[in-house]
């Protein structure tokens, strides 16, 4: 559907703003050094991984309620609140010296992520649907993921350089970047223009509870959707584990904070390029093949890293994991969205998927902490291979719905 020139300009402007929000909202400069920062502030390896488990626990606790919140009051408002919450989290982290204060900062970071997760994808999907362009969703999601990953790459490089001066500086810089993301969220097209009726708080809470149960029930009734949720949980746990284990792994090999930030940046540049091209990869090879290849690549690369030294072989395996990271979101989100039949519950259902994968890393991270730093790559490889086998047994051909698939082909 082609609109008037004015409408076309508004659509392009809204999409550019959305991409900018995706780029900035998750540009966490502290990611390459947060384990080193927490170590400097006196936390043990297990305590640092336990914070990772706490982060995921909080996400699981608030994921669906925040998804329902986004559905009721607007995805743009939810994204705005998520950015502002990250500002608060970073400012508290800079003042933290013990497990308790770090726990508060981590909890706020988790709430921030939950407010944005699902809401941003639902915002993009329904914005395109409103303008008769839902067939563009997969391509637009790939582009948005590329912007997000490229923003992360630049942020990680900058965070590594700032960490050479002071390990707390990346947190302060992240607070500034998140503030800009909040401003951009204010400029986005409002997806909830009509005023919300005033209803008693008890009725609102009851309504939210019903929506949450309905969203979880829809996942349980749809075998393809449930399989994809399980798949996302396994892959996400492995991808996010790298944020915790890369830092001590690279530090043990003599890399400085700046060098670690450079490695993180390089990994995410590769991931950004792959994310941008995933739309074409899906059309060429098909979703089913890519789903299996992605998980197999992850499992094999972890096993290879266990025996790799500080050299080209290590870097090559990190690139393999970057490719998997780049493919993950633009591959799985279109499949998930294609299986959701009621857009009124879209953000809530996407939050159920996010809740499942966060629960997986929430259990996995403390186990890694108990396991210790030695041979942790082998542990991740074994989990990947085990997940591959279990998913193969539970396989329910997760192909997109024919309507969306056909629309993508026509685009």
Banded pLDDT at 370 (limits 50, 70, 90)? confident
Count other C-beta atoms under 10 Å from residue 147's C-beta: 21
Mean pLDDT on 43-66: 85
User: What is the phi-psi region of residue 309: left when phi exceeds 0, alpha when psi lies from -120 to 50, beta otherwise?
Assistant: beta
Residues with Cβ within 8 Å of 331's Cβ and at least 6 positions away in sequence, in order, are 278, 282, 287, 290, 291, 294
Question: Where along the chain do its domains lie?
Answer: 13-188+203-410
Residues with Cβ within 8 Å of 309's Cβ and at least 6 positions away in sequence, in order, are 253
Mean pLDDT on 204-225: 74
Look at residue 312 and tell me whether its pLDDT is greater than 80: yes
Strands (E), 15-160: none
pTM score above 0.85 = no
- Percent residues over pLDDT 90 in the chain: 29
Mean pLDDT on 222-235: 88
Look at residue 410 and tell me whether its pLDDT is greater than 60: no
Banded pLDDT at 5 (limits 50, 70, 90)? low
Banded pLDDT at 29 (limits 50, 70, 90)? very high
Confirm if 31 and 159 have CB atoms less than 8 A apart: yes
The rounded distance, in Å, linking the Cα atoms of 326 and 144 is: 11
The rounded distance, in Å, linking the Cα atoms of 366 and 239 is: 15
First to last CA, the chain: 11
Provide the pLDDT for residue 72: 76
Look at residue 400 and tell me whether its pLDDT is greater than 50: no
Q: State both tokens at 153.
A: 């790459």
Of residues 296 and 216, more confidently modeled:
296
Mean pLDDT of the chain: 83
Provide the pLDDT for residue 404: 46
DSSP code for 192: -
Provide the pLDDT for residue 402: 44
Provide the pLDDT for residue 37: 94
Q: State both tokens at 221.
A: 């009734």
Provide the pLDDT for residue 1: 45
Percent helix, percent strand, percent coil in the chain, to nearest 5: 85, 0, 15
Q: What is the pLDDT of residues 9-27, one digit of tens each?
A: 888 888 889 899 988 988 8
Nearest CA-CA partner of 50 in 88, 102, 111: 102
**Mean pLDDT lowest among 68-82, 92-106, 274-288, 339-353:** 339-353
The rounded distance, in Å, linking the Cα atoms of 178 and 354 is: 21
The rounded distance, in Å, linking the Cα atoms of 53 and 105 is: 14
Mean pLDDT on 233-260: 88
3-state secondary structure of 311: coil
Confirm if 355 and 233 have CB atoms less than 8 A apart: no
Mean pLDDT on 316-338: 89
| Count, residues in the chain | 411
Q: State both tokens at 186.
A: 């204010």
Burial of 306 (0-12, 13-18, 19+ CB in 10 A): middle
CATH number belonging to the domain at 13-188+203-410, selected among 3.30.70.1140, 2.60.40.1180, 3.90.650.10, 1.20.1250.20:
1.20.1250.20
Look at residue 408 and tell me whether its pLDDT is greater than 60: no
Nearest CA-CA partner of 31 in 184, 232, 181, 239: 239
**Mean pLDDT lowest among 91-95, 121-125, 156-160:** 121-125
Provide the pLDDT for residue 99: 93
Cβ-count burial 366-385 (b if 16+ within 10 Å, e if not): bebbebeeeebbebbbebbb
């Amino acid at each position: 559907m082609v609109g008037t020139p004015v409408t076309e300009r508004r659509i392009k402007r809204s999409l550019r703003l959305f991409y900018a929000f995706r780029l900035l909202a998750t540009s966490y400069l502290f990611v390459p050094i947060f384990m080193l920062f927490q170590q400097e502030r006196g936390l043990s390896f297990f305590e640092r991984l336990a914070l990772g488990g706490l982060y995921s626990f909080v996400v699981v606790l608030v994921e669906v309620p925040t998804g329902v919140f986004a559905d009721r009051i607007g995805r743009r408002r939810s994204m705005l609140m998520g950015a502002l919450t990250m500002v608060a989290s970073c400012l508290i982290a800079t003042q933290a010296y013990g497990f308790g204060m770090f726990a508060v900062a981590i909890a706020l970071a988790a709430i921030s992520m939950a407010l944005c997760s699902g809401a941003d994808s639902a915002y993009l999907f329904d914005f395109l649907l409103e303008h008769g362009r839902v067939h563009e969703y997969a391509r637009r999601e790939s582009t948005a993921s590329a912007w997000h990953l490229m923003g992360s790459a630049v942020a990680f490089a900058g965070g590594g350089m700032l960490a050479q001066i002071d390990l707390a500086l990346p947190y302060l810089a992240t607070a500034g970047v998140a503030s800009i993301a909040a401003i951009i969220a204010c400029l986005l097209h409002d997806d909830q223009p009509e005023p919300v009726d005033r209803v008693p708080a008890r009725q609102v809470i009851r309504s939210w509870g019903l929506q949450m149960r309905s969203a979880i029930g829809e996942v349980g009734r749809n075998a393809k959707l449930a399989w994809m949720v399980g798949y996302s949980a396994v892959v996400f746990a492995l991808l996010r584990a790298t944020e915790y284990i890369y830092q001590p792994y690279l530090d043990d090999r003599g890399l400085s904070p700046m060098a670690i930030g450079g490695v993180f940046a390089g990994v995410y540049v590769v991931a950004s390029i792959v994310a941008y091209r995933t739309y074409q990869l899906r059309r060429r090879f098909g979703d089913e093949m890519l789903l299996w290849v992605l998980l197999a690549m992850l499992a094999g690369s972890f096993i290879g890293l266990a025996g790799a030294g500080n050299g080209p072989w290590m870097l090559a395996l990190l690139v393999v994991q970057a490719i998997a990271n780049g493919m993950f979101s633009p591959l799985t989100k279109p499949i998930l969205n294609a299986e959701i039949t009621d857009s009124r519950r879209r953000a809530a259902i996407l939050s159920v998927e996010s809740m499942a994968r966060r629960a997986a890393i929430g259990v996995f991270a403390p186990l890694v902490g108990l396991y210790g730093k030695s041979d942790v790559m082998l542990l991740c490889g074994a989990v990947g291979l085990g997940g591959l086998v279990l998913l193969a047994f539970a396989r329910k051909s997760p192909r997109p719905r024919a309507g969306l698939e056909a629309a993508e082909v026509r685009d």
